[in-house]
Chain A
Amino acid sequence: MNFHAVKAIYRYEMARMFRTVVQSIVAPVLSTSLYFVIFGSAIGSRITEIDGVSYGSFIVPGLIMLSIMTESISNSSFAIYFPKFTGTIFEVLSAPVSYGEVLLGYVGAAATKSVIIGTIILGTASFFVDLEIAHPVIMVAFLLLTCVSFCLFGFLLGIWADGWEKLTIVPILVIMPLTFLGGTFYSISMLPPVWQTISLFNPVVYLISGFRWSFYENADVSVFLSLGMAVAFLIACLAIVRWVFKTGYKLRT
C-alpha cells in the first residue's frame, strides 16, 4: 500500500478545509444554528411533542443528517472535480496509487470534515435543546456510514460532472428535496397514508429514521432496515466507484 500517497492526499485535502474554515465549517454550523432558532425555538415552541420528544430536540438528528449529507457531497465532489477542472489531476493519474488509495485519501478527508461538522452541530444543538443519545454506538455507526456513503456519492458526482452547473445541480435538485422530504423536520407518520408510502421510496428517510432512533428510540422504519439501507447505499457507491476506476470513465481516455 502506498501509505505516503494516502497521507499526502488526506493532508492536502484537510489543509484545504482549514484554509477555507469559514466556508467549510462556520457556514454549515451557522446555517444549521439558524434552523434551530427558527424551527426549534420560534416555530417549534408552538408545535406539540412528537412521540414524546420536544420538537426542538426531534429535529436535531435530521438537521445533523441534512448538514453532513450536503457537506459530504459538496466536499468530495469539489475535491475531485477541481483537479479535473484545473488539470492537476494528471499527477494523481500518473502516480503509483491504486483506486483504493485514491479513495482513502479523498473520501477519507471529506468524511473526516463531515464528521467534524456533524460533531460541531451536535455540540451547537446542545446549547439550544435538551439532548440525549440512547444508543451512542449506533449513532456513530450511522454518522460514519452516512458520511462515507455520501462522500463516495459526491466523489462520483465530481468525476461525472464536466461543468460547475452539473456539480451543483444534483445537490440542489435531487439531494436537497430528498433530505427535506426525508423526515428532517417531521415524522413521516404525520403524513397522509399515500405520502407515507411514497416517502418509503426516499432512501434518505431510512438514514434519518435510523439516526433519530439512536437518539430517542423513535423511528419511522425499523432500525435494522435503516442500517441495511445505509450499508446497501455504501456498497452501491463502492461498486460504481470501482467500475469508474476500472473503466477510467471520465478520468482516463
Chain B
Amino acid sequence: MQAVINIKGLTKTYAGGFDALKNVSLSINKSEIFALLGPNGAGKTTLINIVCGITRLTQGEVLVDGHDIVSDFRLTRAKIGLVPQEMPTESFETVWNTCRFSRGLFGKGASPEHLEKVLKSLSLWDRKDTKSMELSGGMKRRVLIAKALAHEPEILFLDEPTAGVDVELRQDMWNVVKSLRKEGVTVILTTHYIEEAEQLADRVGVINNGEIILVEDKKKLMREMGKKQLMLNLYEELDDVPVQLSNYDLELSRNRRRLVYTYDTKGEHTGITDLINDLRRSGIRFNDLQTTQSSLEDIFVDLVKKT
C-alpha cells in the first residue's frame, strides 16, 4: 500500500508545556478510510491541525504525498480538505458563495459544474442561495463538507463530522464518504461514534494521551480483539454455576435465568458442543440461545482503559 501521509516522531508541546502529541508515528494509505479514535483531549484534533497547517509542530516530520508540510506547504495543503469539529460558517454568505470562496482559496479556478455536483451530492443544491445563518445545524455541517470538497482534495480530514446530526443525515454523510473513497480520496475520520468507524473504516488507529496505542486493520482488530458470547436462557433458575462446568468461562446472570459463555473465536475449538453436552449431562435445560460479538466500541474502551 502506498502511504499518502507519513508522520514520523511527531511531537507537539503547547506554550503552557502541555504535551499534546508524544513522538507519534503513523502512515495513512492512499484511498483508504482511516478512523482515528480516542477520548477527549487524546490529541486527535492537534494531529489533524498539524497536518493541515493550522498548528505548528514542535518536533518530527510530516510528509503528504512525499512532500514536507512545512517546506512544501503549498503542495501539501492544496491536496487536503478539512471539515473541522466546530461549525464555523460565514453566517452572512450564501452556500454557493462560501463554497466558491473555499475553492479559490485553495488555488482552484472557478468550476460551477464541480460545485453543483458537490452541492447536489450533499442535498444542498436547493439551498445554494441561502445564507449559512439561516441553515439548521445539520445543514451547516453539510456546508462545511461541501467547502472542504470544493477544491477537489485528494485527502479529506473529517473531525467528528456527524457530531450532533440526526440519523438520516449521518447515513447520507456515510454514503458521501463511501463514494469519495471510490473516487480515490483518502479519508481520515475522527469520531466519538464508534459505530461510524465500524461502518466506514478500513483501518483504525487509537490515540490516547498523545500517543498512538494501536493501528490495525478494522476487520483484523475486531477478529483478534473481539470476544464472542453465547447466551443460554434457562428453564429453571440456578443458584450457582455447577462445579462440573467450572472449566468453562461461564457467568450466571443476576436473575439466575441466563448463562453467558465467553469463547475465543480464534481458537481451534470454541467449546460450544462440549458445553451443550455437559449441560445436558448436568440436567440443565435451556429454551433459547443467542450469540453476540463485541463491538469496536467495546474494544476501544478496553484499549483506552489499559493505557
> Is the C-beta of B82 less than 8 angstroms from some C-beta in chain A?
yes
CB pair B54–A90 under 8 Å, yes or no, is: yes
Decide yes or no: A94 and B53 within 8 Å by CB, A2-B74, A253-B15 being known contacts. Answer: yes
Decide yes or no: A86 and B88 within 8 Å by CB, A248-B56, A253-B14 being known contacts. Answer: yes
Closest to A3 in B: B107
Contact partners of A11 in chain B: CB under 8 A? 101, 104
Determine the interface band of chain B, counting residues with CB < 8 A from chain A. 35 or more
CB pair A9–B54 under 8 Å, yes or no, is: no
> Is the C-beta of A135 less than 8 angstroms from some C-beta in chain B?
no
> Is the C-beta of A48 less than 8 angstroms from some C-beta in chain B?
no
CB pair B107–A2 under 8 Å, yes or no, is: yes
Identify B105's interface contact among A5, A19, A248, CB under 8 A: A5
Closest to A86 in B: B88
Q: Shortest beta-carbon distance, A164 to chain B, in Å?
A: 16
Identify A93's interface contact among B53, B108, B109, CB under 8 A: B53
Q: What is the bound-complex CA distance between A91 and B82, given in angstroms?
A: 8
**Partner-contacting stretch, out of B2-10, B90-98, B162-170, B197-205:** B90-98
> Is the C-beta of A46 less than 8 angstroms from some C-beta in chain B?
no
CB pair A90–B107 under 8 Å, yes or no, is: no
Closest to A2 in B: B107
Q: What is the bound-complex CA distance between A151 and B15, given in angstroms?
A: 30
CB pair B90–A96 under 8 Å, yes or no, is: no
- Write the A99-136 contact mask toward B (1 if CB under 8 angstroms, else 0): 00000000000000000000000000000000000000
Q: Shortest beta-carbon distance, A79 to chain B, in Å?
A: 12
> Is the C-beta of A195 less than 8 angstroms from some C-beta in chain B?
no
Contact partners of B272 in chain A: CB under 8 A? none
Q: Shortest beta-carbon distance, A195 to chain B, in Å?
A: 45
Q: What is the bound-complex CA distance between A97 and B105, given in angstroms?
A: 8
Decide yes or no: A9 and B53 within 8 Å by CB, A86-B88, A86-B91, A94-B80 being known contacts. Answer: no
Residues of chain B whose beta carbon lies under 8 Å from any beta carbon of chain A: 14-15, 52-56, 73-78, 80, 82, 84, 86, 88-93, 97, 100-109, 147
